[in-house]
Amino acid sequence: MYQEKIQAVLEREHKTKPTLIQKESYEAIKNGASVVALAKTGTGKTLAYALPVLEKAESGAANSVVIFAPTTELAVQIRHAINPYLHALGLKGISLVGAGNRKRQEAQLKKKHPEVIVATPGRFFDFFSSGRIKIGQIKTLIIDEADDILEFTKMELLTSLGQNLGPDSQILLFGATDSEITRDAEELFARHFLLMDVRNEQTSATKHYFLMVDNAHKIDFLQKMTKLDGFKGILFFDSNETMMRFAGIFGHTKTKFDLLANEFGKKRREESLRNLANGKTKLLLATDLAARGLDIPGLTYVINYDIPSEVNTYLHRAGRTGRMNKEGYVVTLGDDHDFRDLKKLLEDELEVKRVYFAGYHLSEKQPKPKKEKVKKEQEVSAKKKVKRKKRKNKNKGYHPHYLKVKK
């Protein structure tokens, strides 16, 4: 399916079998069609749009491929994912992100004349409005996590850019869920799109669980979770304030963790992700804004500190684990009322089961007390009763004045 140079890299990375979205979208993208592609998270969307585009990219055509990502972390992740293929094809790429040094990025743009730009919307339009990137140079515009990009840029800027591209250009919108930008793509960008939605055909090995706990004991339960077999997880919070408040308390425990906070600099955030990826830490605290679209190798658990307010939020969080059909667990914490709300929220999407601690793993079956333990407890209780009875009788015989005082 792919060119020989691309195939060689895929073999080195042990990715010889294309995923469903990669197979379904390859020919259309390679032939220059504009596409709306919807696939579950962790199913190879980055290479699905990148490989056919890079194969037909013209060497020396500066800024001809522009990839939008909603966050700095995702932009950097995409750049790392496509780098081996850029090198194999003799193409150049740079990242233009808000968290990076602007002067250094501008110097790279001038010096390298890259064919491929991976950018966050704010930094891209900064360079675009100053004339560093020309509209006529862009042949392929890719919007990754298209269902989320609306949170990070003004729709007018994005649609204006798309509508003013040349007639021989293409626009690719990739996402995991429906949104205004994917549903109304033809109207927004004034062009025809092919729709490729493979979500219902994709299987997932991820299990969705609910762990019953009140707020007072969440810290105890989280400490216990980090001791589960093969644990490597992200703990999601609805707000940065809640996360920082929790971190202040959790920091007094012996559990080692890291944070992905908005106020942290690029290097600190990259270090947090690196520590989790290489096993220096087993738990990362994060918000949706900070962790959107991240692909962390070997992540086995996603934990919701509270119930997400929207289905799409839950699905995006869940997509951080169980990637490429590997085993993964999504565990939401809460009480009976929360469990009912979560089941109602996800009733059209997936089934959530209640789960219990069973040694160093989670079980859908409620553990029964061990017979030997129960028997031993009963024996101890019986001995205590006999002892109290003997002492009571002895006191009655020898210390009647003491018993009278007690009464």
Q: pLDDT grade, residue 56 (50/70/90)?
A: very high
What's the pLDDT tens digit per position in 202-246?
A: 878 899 999 999 999 999 999 999 999 999 999 999 999 999 999
What pLDDT score does 327 carry? 87
Of the two residues 180 and 345, the one the predictor is more confident about is 345
Model confidence at 176: pLDDT above 60: yes
CA distance 399 to 384: 21
Q: How is the chain split into domains, by residue range?
A: 4-201, 206-363, 373-406
CA distance 292 to 295: 9
Outline where DSSP puts E strands in 266-391.
283-287, 301-304, 328-334, 353-354, 356-358, 361-363
Structure tokens at 81: 């994912």
Q: pLDDT grade, residue 54 (50/70/90)?
A: very high
Structure tokens at 4: 């020989």
Q: Return the bridge partners of 195, or none.
A: 36
CA distance 117 to 68: 8
Q: What average pLDDT does this structure show over 80-85?
A: 96
Contact between 255 and 226 under an 8 Å Cβ cutoff? The reply is yes
CA distance 212 to 108: 52
Model confidence at 40: pLDDT above 80: yes
Q: What average pLDDT does this structure show over 191-212?
A: 92
CATH of 4-201, one of 3.40.50.740, 3.30.450.190, 3.40.50.300, 3.40.50.1980: 3.40.50.300
% of the chain exceeding 70 in pLDDT: 89
Q: What average pLDDT does this structure show over 115-119?
A: 97
Model confidence at 407: pLDDT above 60: no
Q: What average pLDDT does this structure show over 385-403?
A: 48
What pLDDT score does 30 carry? 97
Q: pLDDT grade, residue 73 (50/70/90)?
A: confident
Do domains 4-201 and 206-363 share one topology? The answer is: yes
What pLDDT score does 401 carry? 36
Contact between 395 and 402 under an 8 Å Cβ cutoff? The reply is yes
What pLDDT score does 299 carry? 94
Model confidence at 289: pLDDT above 90: no
Closest CA to 215 of 241, 246, 238: 246
Closest CA to 118 of 173, 81, 152, 156: 81
Outline where DSSP puts E strands in 228-321.
233-237, 258-260, 283-287, 301-304
% of the chain exceeding 90 in pLDDT: 65
CATH of 206-363, one of 3.30.565.10, 3.90.1150.10, 3.40.50.300, 3.20.20.70: 3.40.50.300
- 41-69 burial, b at 16+ Cβ within 10 Å, e below that, comes to bbbbbbbbbbbbbbbbbeeeeebbbbbbb
Amino acid at 5: K
The two most distant CA atoms of the chain are separated, in Å, by 108
Model confidence at 403: pLDDT above 70: no
What pLDDT score does 202 carry? 82
Tell me how many degrees the CA angle 185-189-195 measures, rounded to the nearest 5: 35
Q: pLDDT grade, residue 100 (50/70/90)?
A: confident
Model confidence at 293: pLDDT above 90: no
Q: Please give the C-alpha separations between residue 116 and each of 4, 7, 32, 191, in angstroms, as whole numbers.
A: 20, 20, 17, 23
What pLDDT score does 383 carry? 66
Q: Please give the C-alpha separations between residue 191 and each of 12, 188, 194, 316, in angstroms, as whole numbers.
A: 38, 8, 10, 28
What pLDDT score does 156 carry? 85
Which single residue is written with the structure tokens 């996590």? 145
Of the two residues 269 and 329, the one the predictor is more confident about is 329
Structure tokens at 351: 């089934």
Q: Return the bridge partners of 38, or none.
A: 175, 197
Model confidence at 85: pLDDT above 70: yes
How would DSSP label each residue in 168-188? T-EEEEEESS--HHHHTHHHH
DSSP summary character for residue 143: E
Structure tokens at 188: 């927004």
What pLDDT score does 370 carry? 65
What's the pLDDT tens digit per position in 148-170?
A: 776 656 788 899 999 999 999 99
What pLDDT score does 297 carry? 86
What pLDDT score does 135 carry? 96
How far is Cα of residue 203 from the mean position of the Cα atoms in its chain? 18
Structure tokens at 390: 């003997």
Environment class of 304 (CB within 10 Å of its CB; exposed 0-12, middle 13-18, buried 19+): buried
Helix (H) or strand (E) holding 141, with range, is strand 140-143
What's the pLDDT tens digit per position in 354-377?
A: 999 998 999 999 887 666 555 666
DSSP summary character for residue 149: G
